[in-house]
Each structure stands twice: as structure tokens, then as C-alpha cells.
Structure 1
Amino acid sequence: MIDSATVRRVGANEAAACVEALADVLIDCVEGGASVSFMLPISRDTALRFWRDVAEGVARGERALLIAEDRDGSIIGTVQLITAQPENQPHRADVAKMLVHRKARRHGVGHALMTELDRIAREEKKSVLVLDTVTGGDAERLYQRAGWQRVGSVPNYALMPDGEFCATTFYCKQL
């Protein structure tokens, strides 16, 4: 059981150092059925390559990486704020890869990540946030409770890790 979690932004060097632990969270989520761009079976190499690319994006200043840690310092969740946007959208950011390890779900970790994400977005002078999630999934409740507005849904937008089609719902938030 997770009694408390600490959420914080990590810089480029620390992001690179967290790749192994972040890969563990990603693999757990995909193996648990989360549609987060990866298919089963997900290899460790695939997960590590993804997080190395994320760390490089952090180093280039294209995204903010937040992690949630339990009391012993283990990473149990993460979310990204993608700040690199087209020239006509300097005020906007995308939210990506909101992941909470199955052992840490329903303990406020997702809420804590999203609260800190809002703070970081404001710090980065972002006033419009956009994200997408599986229609009907647990994350929808989290986003709605955090003040996100449902924009619409696209049937058969993506695949679940097992290959089944799923609809995707898009959300936005004005800060």
C-alpha cells in the first residue's frame, strides 16, 4: 500500500538516470492493459528506448518530466508536459504518458501528478492543455475530477495492448 507519494519535476541528468525505473512503470501499465502507444508483449528494450528518447527531449527543453515516488524513493508514477509546440501555439502544451504503477493506483498518485503538472504548466506560461485517453477508462474520472473538459471522442482511434480497437476521448483544460 502507498501511504504517500512525492511528486517532482526532474531535469535532464536525473531523467536519464531514471530510465530503468520509468521502464518498469511503463511495462507494468502496458501489461495491465493500458493503451499508451505500446503493444503486448512490450520488451524491456522498447521501454528503455522510449524513456531514453524522453530524457533527450527533457535535455532539449521540449518537455517537462514529472515523477511520483513512494516513501522509499521508488518511482510509482509519471506524466509529461510537452511544451515544444508550433510557433502559433506558444501558450499550449500536450499532456502525455500519465502512468501510475498498478500497485499505487487509487491512492491519489494520479491526482498528485496532475496537480503538480498544472503548477508546472503555469510556470512554463502555458494556458491551454490538451490530452487524450481511452474512452471509458479509469483515467477519465481522474481528469474530470481535476477540472478537464471533455472535447469529444473518436471511435477506433487506437489499439489496446492486446490488439483490440478502442475509442479515444480528447480533453482540454484552460489554466
Structure 2
Amino acid sequence: MARVLGPLTPQQFRARLPGLAPLLADSVDGGASVGFLAPFDTEAAERWWRQQGAEIDSGTQQVWVAEDERGVVGTVVLHRAPKANAVHRGEIRKLLVHRDARGAGLGRELLAAARNHAAATGLTLLLLDTATGSPAEELYRRDGWTPYGVVPDFARDPAGTLEDCTFFYRRLP
């Protein structure tokens, strides 16, 4: 059974880099449209995660992980808007669940952890985007997110094919 931890401190984040990197590489290898093109290996994934360190140190980004006996099997990032007129909102990024751990509700649990923390720390609006027609899109709809538009040919999937993107928001209490 996986447990969700977070938001991670900068030290906890750095200690989990060896688990976060294979998770990201697995997601891209599995076809997830999360900003990277194939081939995308664990070394490239670790470089990307390391680049997030400054924003994690500053508190602009917060990370949660789901861990089980295999290590890190899921993650989600909450990015806080840095502009003075936008401190009420945040963006959900990199909601990832390892292909071997899907179907157990980890995506919903990670999303809820980030959303609840966002509300508890004063955010009132969350945004996210995902590939139109993806399993993630259905997860967000079931979780109460409101779609507000589809942009055609917004991004390339890992194979390089252009795909549409659906944008969502969720108001927080």
C-alpha cells in the first residue's frame, strides 16, 4: 500500500531524486504528454528534477510523493503563481503515477493532497492542463475540475505527434 508524503522539504526532495527520475522516465516512456519527447532516459529525468530545486527551495513549487515498498511510485507538483496579482492561484503540474501502480487511486490521492494543502495555505484557484482524451482528463473531470477550453495542436506527445490540450480550473473553499 502506497503512502503519500508532502509537501516535501528541500532535503526530502533531494533525497528522493533517485526515485523521482525513473518515475518521470517511465511516464514519458508510457506515452504521457508531460513536456518531454522520447527517447527520454532516467539521466535526463534526473537533470530536469534537479533544475526544479531552486523553486522548491524558494517555496514556489511544492512536491508530494507516493511511496510503497518499491520506492517512489507517484508524484504531483503544486506551483504557486509568482506575480503579486496572482498569489491567490496555483497550478498543478506533473501528476505522475508509475504504470505498475496505476488503478489503485494514487492519482486521486496525490491530487487531493496538493489541493487540500493549497486551500489550507490560502490559494483559492487551481489550474492545470492535460492532453485531450487522455486518462488524466477523465480523472480531472471525475475529481470536480471544470474545463475551460481546448487548444488544438498545443503540444507534442513523447512520439512527437501534435495533440490537443484541455485546460481546467478548480475553485477552492
Q: TM-score, normalised by structure 2?
A: 0.95
Q: Structure 1 CA distance, aligned partners of 2:163 and 2:24? A: 19
By how many angstroms is 1:136 displaced? Answer: 0.3
Identity %: 37
Q: Which of 164, 167, 170 is residue 167 of structure 2 equivalent to? A: 170
Aligned counterpart for 1:89 among listed residues 53, 67, 86: 86
Runs of 4+ more than 3 Å apart: none
Tell me the distance in 2 between the aligned counterparts of 1:19 and 1:161.
22
Which residue in 2 is equivalent to 1:34? 32
| Paired positions, count | 171
Q: CA RMSD in A?
A: 1.1
Contact 1:85–1:93, Cα closer than 8 Å, also in 2 = no
Does residue 141 of structure 2 align to residue 144 of structure 1?
yes
Distance in 1 of aligned mates of 2:5 and 2:75: 9
TM-score, normalised relative to structure 1: 0.94
Shift of 1:26: 0.3
Which is further off, 30-39 or 114-123? 114-123
**1:45-73 deviations in Å (ceiling 9; x for gaps):** 22111111223311111111010112x26
Q: Identify which of 150, 155, 158 aligns with 1:158.
A: 155
CA deviations over 1:89-116 (Å, ceiling 9, x no partner)? 1100011011100001111000100111
Aligned partners of 1:54 and 1:111: how far apart in 2?
23
Determine helix, strand or coil for the equivalent of 1:35. coil
The equivalent of 2:57 in structure 1 is 59
1:50 aligns with 2:52: no
Match of residue 110, structure 1, among 104, 107, 111: 107
In structure 2, what is the Cα distance between the partners aligned to 1:73 and 1:26? 15
Residue segments in structure 2 that go unaligned for 5+ positions in a row:
none
